[in-house]
């Protein structure tokens, strides 16, 4: 073995390797193959920017007083509802229901508010450690391994979407959703479900199950997805569109 | 594995969190599913549980389970080959004093299911 190792690679072998590499290059060359690879995400390949996950909230269908999306999120992701917490004002909340009233016309609007999954997220801009990041498929997340709990991102977020875990969780976490004291967290678009290939989130499932159908989740980059078709027909708005953040969550009827 | 598991976990955690790779190979969940103790259902609850048994001996603090759950969500999720099969393998080897092949183990796992 040692004798072989001492020999430099022979000319023949070099020539062979060169040809082999050229053949391999040819096989990949037709763009079709690469396109196919990018679109069918197999389990051990990372996410790609071919997909951009987004949500459409139809506030005309969102029922006043209904809290199903919030409870579903709490159950799926293992955070406690603020009412059950000893300190409700600082309890983590990934999604919350807002009831708005126009002071002039007294028109009432009901809508869920959560992380808007901006394409240009301010939370990522301000994070001093790089813990706050945007995944290739547009989901904005916190890498809790790197988060130091400084809460700059909470200050920077225009939507008050993030919260800090103040109390120890004592092994009550869900196995799919690790979370812990001293880290900032927010809506993840149920990233564990998305990666599993469910193609939906807990809040959307709950809203559909309750028969309201106010929430639609899907791929904004896929022109044939339900959400893209709806976005083409319904007039929608981004909250604080003046900030030019290119949000993943769009609202209809506000 | 004993010497380098932390490097492996560190590498896999970044691919999981940032790129969404969540196969069994990359999953801490899968480690826990197989290695959780039969008695406590956890890898850290008792002194002789999988992670703690070494970490207490080496006096290395283990932070993983401040955030990650140390228990499989249900005992049904435990891997049949590693939980039942591994115990059977040890029992059989101890009784007969012979080596057990991979084929035998697989056959036993089939039987256990």
The answer to whether B29 contacts chain A (CB < 8 Å) is yes
Query: CA-CA distance, B95 to B106, in Å (whole number)?
Result: 19
High-pLDDT (> 70) share of chain A, %: 83
Dihedral angle computed from the Cα positions of residues A195, A199, A202 and A206, in that order, rounded to the nearest 10 degrees? -170
Both A27 and A82 in one domain: the answer is no
pTM over 0.80: no
ipTM, 2 decimals? 0.75
Residues of A in contact with B72 (CB under 8 A): 175
Both A98 and A145 in one domain: the answer is yes
Both A109 and A131 in one domain: the answer is yes
Residues of B in contact with A164 (CB under 8 A): none
CATH assignment at residue A161: 3.30.70.20
Both A124 and A21 in one domain: the answer is no
Q: Output b/e per residue, A91-112; b: 16+ Cβ within 10 A.
A: bbbbbbbeeeeeeeeeeebbbb
Both A92 and A16 in one domain: the answer is no
Give the mean pLDDT of A24-44.
50
Place of tokens 């790129």: B19
Count of domains forming chain A? 2
Both A89 and A15 in one domain: the answer is no
Chain A residue with minimum CA distance to B68: A178
> Across the interface, do A141 and B17 touch by the CB < 8 Å criterion?
yes
Both A185 and A214 in one domain: the answer is yes
> Across the interface, do B19 and A176 touch by the CB < 8 Å criterion?
no
Chosen from B10, B30, B52, B69 to mutate, greatest number of chain A CBs within 10 A: B69
Chain A residue with minimum CA distance to B13: A145
> Across the interface, do B20 and A194 touch by the CB < 8 Å criterion?
yes
Q: Is residue A26 part of a domain?
A: yes
Q: Report which of A230, A140, A122, A224 is spatially closest to residue A188, judged by C-alpha positions.
A: A140
Q: How far is A20 from chain B (nearest CA, A)?
A: 30
Chain B residue with minimum CA distance to A41: B21
Q: Report which of A56, A51, A47 is spatially closest to residue A204, judged by C-alpha positions.
A: A56
Q: How far is A104 from chain B (nearest CA, A)?
A: 46
The answer to whether A194 contacts chain B (CB < 8 Å) is yes
Query: CA-CA distance, A8 to A245, in Å (whole number)?
Result: 56
Which letter does DSSP use for residue A109 in this model?
A: E
pLDDT single digits (tens) A54-113: 999 999 999 999 999 999 999 999 999 999 999 999 999 999 999 999 999 999 999 999
Both A133 and A175 in one domain: the answer is yes
Both A214 and A91 in one domain: the answer is yes
What is chain B's alpha carbon radius of gyration, rounded to the nearest angstrom?
16
**HSE, side-chain direction, 13 A CA sphere, residue B11:** 6
Residue range of the domain that includes A29 = 2-39
> Across the interface, do A179 and B69 touch by the CB < 8 Å criterion?
no
Highest mean pLDDT: which range of A33-42, A44-53, A218-227: A218-227
Both A35 and A57 in one domain: the answer is no
Which of the four pLDDT bands, split at 50, 70 and 90, describes residue A170?
confident
Both A30 and A120 in one domain: the answer is no
The answer to whether A46 contacts chain B (CB < 8 Å) is yes
- Reading the block at residue A134, the tokens are 């945007």
Q: Is residue A46 part of a domain?
A: no
- Angle, helix A68-77 to helix A202-209, in steps of 10 degrees: 140
Both A168 and A205 in one domain: the answer is yes
CB < 8 Å & 24+ apart, contacts of A162-171: A162/A115, A162/A123, A162/A186, A163/A90, A163/A91, A163/A92, A163/A93, A163/A94, A164/A90, A164/A92, A165/A92, A166/A87, A166/A90, A166/A91, A167/A86, A167/A87, A168/B66, A169/B67, A171/B42, A171/B65, A171/B69, A171/B70, A171/B71
Which of the four pLDDT bands, split at 50, 70 and 90, describes residue A39?
very low
Place of tokens 């190792």: A5
pLDDT single digits (tens) B12-44: 899 999 999 888 788 888 888 888 888 888 899
Return mean pLDDT, chain A: 87
Residues of B in contact with A176 (CB under 8 A): 29
């Amino acid at each position: 073995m040692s004798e072989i190792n001492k020999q430099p690679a022979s000319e023949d072998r070099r020539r062979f390797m060169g040809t082999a590499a050229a053949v391999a290059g040819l096989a990949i060359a037709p763009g079709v193959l690469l396109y196919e690879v990018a679109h069918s995400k197999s389990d051990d390949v990372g996410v790609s920017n071919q997909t951009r996950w987004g949500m459409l909230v139809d506030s005309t269908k969102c029922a006043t007083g209904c809290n199903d999306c919030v409870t579903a999120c709490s159950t799926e992701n293992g955070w406690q509802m603020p009412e059950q917490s000893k300190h409700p004002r600082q309890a983590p909340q990934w999604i919350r229901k807002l009831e708005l009233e126009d002071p002039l016309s007294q028109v009432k609007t009901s809508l869920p508010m959560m992380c808007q999954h901006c394409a240009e997220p301010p939370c990522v801009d301000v994070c001093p450690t790089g813990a706050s990041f945007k995944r290739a498929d547009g989901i904005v997340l916190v890498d809790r391994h790197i988060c130091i709990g400084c809460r700059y991102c909470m200050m920077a977020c225009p939507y008050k979407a993030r919260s800090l875990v103040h109390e120890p969780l004592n092994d009550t976490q869900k196995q799919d959703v690790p979370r812990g004291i001293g880290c900032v967290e927010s809506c993840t678009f149920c990233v564990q479900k998305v990666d599993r290939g469910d193609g939906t989130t807990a809040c959307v499932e709950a809203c559909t199950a309750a028969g309201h159908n106010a929430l639609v989740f899907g791929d904004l980059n896929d022109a044939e997805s339900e959400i893209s078709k709806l976005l083409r027909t319904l007039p929608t708005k981004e909250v604080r569109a003046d900030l030019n953040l290119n949000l993943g969550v769009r609202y209809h009827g506000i | 594995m004993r010497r380098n598991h932390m490097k492996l976990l560190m590498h896999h955690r970044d691919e999981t969190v940032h790129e969404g790779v969540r196969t069994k190979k990359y999953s801490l969940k899968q480690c826990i599913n197989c290695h959780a103790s039969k008695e406590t259902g956890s890898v850290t609850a008792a002194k002789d549980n999988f992670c703690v048994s070494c970490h207490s001996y080496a006096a290395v603090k283990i932070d993983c389970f401040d955030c990650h759950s140390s228990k499989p969500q249900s005992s049904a999720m435990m891997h049949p080959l590693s939980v039942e099969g591994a115990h059977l393998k040890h029992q059989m080897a101890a009784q007969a004093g012979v080596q057990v092949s991979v084929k035998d183990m697989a056959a036993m796992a089939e039987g256990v299911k």
